[in-house]
């Protein structure tokens, strides 16, 4: 299904607010929902949850490995734990527990990586979460969800409660516009087409989807028909949608606020590289390839070429190699 996006100037939003609002609403209806955090009530937007459900919030302090273990224990007892922490510390410090206690043990813990990518800006690479997609994609049995806007963030939280399973949700802090249509549905393991096109496909995730749509509008003015795919699910990955893009358009560009080693672009390259010879198309992968310098999030996105202008250039370069 093709989802239409509003081309008019768009307001931007912090998706953590949508996350917090939906979590509180669902917790009112389902007493199994609990939250676990690492002294991050404020930064995880759990203040309202704590105030309304003080007995259902467990703050373990700055002990992320213990935090994931506590979440696994709660899940094994029939509860639905939302384990919330800044994404670099949730995934980096606790990777062994995520592997052993969640993915391998198949405990239905919902890991909520707050403020991912380069949302912490000037705090630098220690606080940037750009390796998370690479690390977590290596773990079998763990869903990876990157909601693109407020609606998809709410849907990701709702889906996690309706169908509890080991899940990592990347909850964005850097403000983005609403992208998907109001009647769209976030389906597990499905890539959404947010713009139709026949010349080149841009596959983007998270903060980069709205920029991909802006790039597509520019390319249309240059006579280039651009398909835009929103990769909200990186695991399970929609092999069919990626394969169709390779067969139906002449080139692919991927864009992610993450390390290019092992992330979305690497996943797409693996799929395209295994297609029959006639379906393999030129591919450009945009993302991070080194530790970031000091600067704001917007500066860093520009520094690493993660803007609509850079996407336009990448698309034209890819098409030039057809």
Confidence check: pLDDT of 8 > 60: no
CB 224 within 8 A of CB 315: yes
pLDDT score, position 221: 97
Confidence check: pLDDT of 296 > 60: yes
pLDDT more than 70, % of the chain:
97
Q: Structural domains in the chain?
A: 12-177 (3.40.50.970), 192-320 (3.40.50.920)
- Per-residue pLDDT tens over the stretch 93-149: 999 999 999 999 999 999 999 999 999 999 999 999 999 999 999 999 999 999 999
pLDDT score, position 9: 64
Q: How far is CA 145 from the centre of its chain?
A: 5
Burial class (CB in 10 A: 0-12, 13-18, 19+), 21: middle
Burial readout 220-242 (b: 16 or more C-beta within 10 A, e: otherwise):
eeeebebbbbbbbbbbebbeebb
CB 213 within 8 A of CB 196: no
Confidence check: pLDDT of 169 > 50: yes
d(CA 209, CA 93): 28
What's the whole-number mean pLDDT along residues 40-63?
95
The Cβ of residue 47 has, within 10 Å, a number of other Cβ atoms equal to 12
- Four-point Cα dihedral 120, 121, 127, 132, nearest 10: 80
pLDDT score, position 278: 86
Burial class (CB in 10 A: 0-12, 13-18, 19+), 214: buried
Confidence check: pLDDT of 7 > 90: no
Which has the minimum average pLDDT: 1-5, 88-92, 212-216?
1-5
pLDDT score, position 46: 96
Confidence check: pLDDT of 163 > 60: yes
Q: How many residues does the chain have?
A: 322
Residue 115 region, left (φ>0) first, then alpha (ψ -120 to 50), else beta?
A: left
The DSSP string of 150-204 is HHHHHHHHHHHHHS--SEEEEE--S-EE--S-TT----TT-PEEEE--SSEEEEE
Which has the minimum average pLDDT: 21-30, 76-85, 150-159, 272-281?
272-281
The Cβ of residue 303 has, within 10 Å, a number of other Cβ atoms equal to 14
Confidence of residue 3 (pLDDT cuts 50, 70, 90): very low
- Of 274, 273, 291, 275, nearest to 283 by C-alpha is 273
Confidence of residue 222 (pLDDT cuts 50, 70, 90): very high
d(CA 14, CA 114): 11
pLDDT score, position 4: 41
- Per-residue pLDDT tens over the stretch 301-315: 999 999 999 999 999
d(CA 249, CA 252): 8
Confidence check: pLDDT of 5 > 60: no
pLDDT score, position 239: 98
- Four-point Cα dihedral 29, 35, 41, 43, nearest 10: -90
Please, what is the average pLDDT of the chain?
A: 95
- Per-residue pLDDT tens over the stretch 17-37: 999 999 999 999 999 999 999
């Amino acid at each position: 299904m093709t989802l239409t996006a509003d081309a008019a100037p768009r307001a931007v939003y912090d998706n953590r607010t949508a996350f917090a609002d939906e979590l509180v609403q669902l917790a009112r209806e389902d007493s199994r929902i609990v939250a676990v955090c690492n002294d991050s009530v404020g930064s995880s937007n759990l203040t309202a949850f704590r105030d309304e459900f003080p007995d259902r919030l467990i703050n373990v302090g700055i002990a992320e490995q213990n935090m994931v273990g506590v979440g696994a224990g709660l899940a094994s007892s029939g509860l639905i734990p939302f384990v919330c922490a800044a994404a670099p510390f949730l995934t980096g410090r606790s990777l062994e527990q995520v592997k052993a206690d969640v993915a391998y043990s198949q405990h239905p813990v919902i890991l909520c990586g707050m403020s991912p990518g380069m949302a912490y800006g000037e705090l630098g690479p220690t606080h940037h979460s750009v390796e998370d997609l690479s690390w977590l994609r290596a773990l079998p049995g763990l869903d990876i969800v990157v909601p693109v806007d407020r609606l998809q963030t709410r849907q990701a939280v709702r889906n996690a409660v309706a169908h509890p399973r080991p899940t990592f949700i990347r909850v964005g802090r850097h403000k983005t516009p609403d992208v998907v249509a109001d009647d769209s549905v976030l389906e597990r393991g499905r890539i959404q087409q947010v713009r139709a096109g026949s010349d080149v496909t841009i596959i983007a995730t998270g903060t980069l989807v709205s920029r991909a749509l802006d790039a597509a509008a520019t390319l249309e003015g240059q006579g280039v028909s651009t398909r835009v795919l929103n990769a909200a699910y990186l695991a399970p990955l929609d092999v069919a949608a990626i394969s169709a893009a390779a067969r139906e358009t002449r080139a692919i560009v991927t864009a992610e606020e993450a390390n290019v080693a092992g992330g979305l672009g690497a996943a797409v390259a693996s799929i395209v590289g295994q297609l029959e010879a006639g379906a393999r198309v030129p591919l450009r992968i945009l993302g991070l390839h080194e530790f970031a310098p000091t600067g704001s999030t917007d500066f860093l996105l520009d520094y690493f070429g993660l803007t609509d202008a850079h996407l336009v250039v990448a698309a034209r370069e890819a098409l030039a190699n057809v």
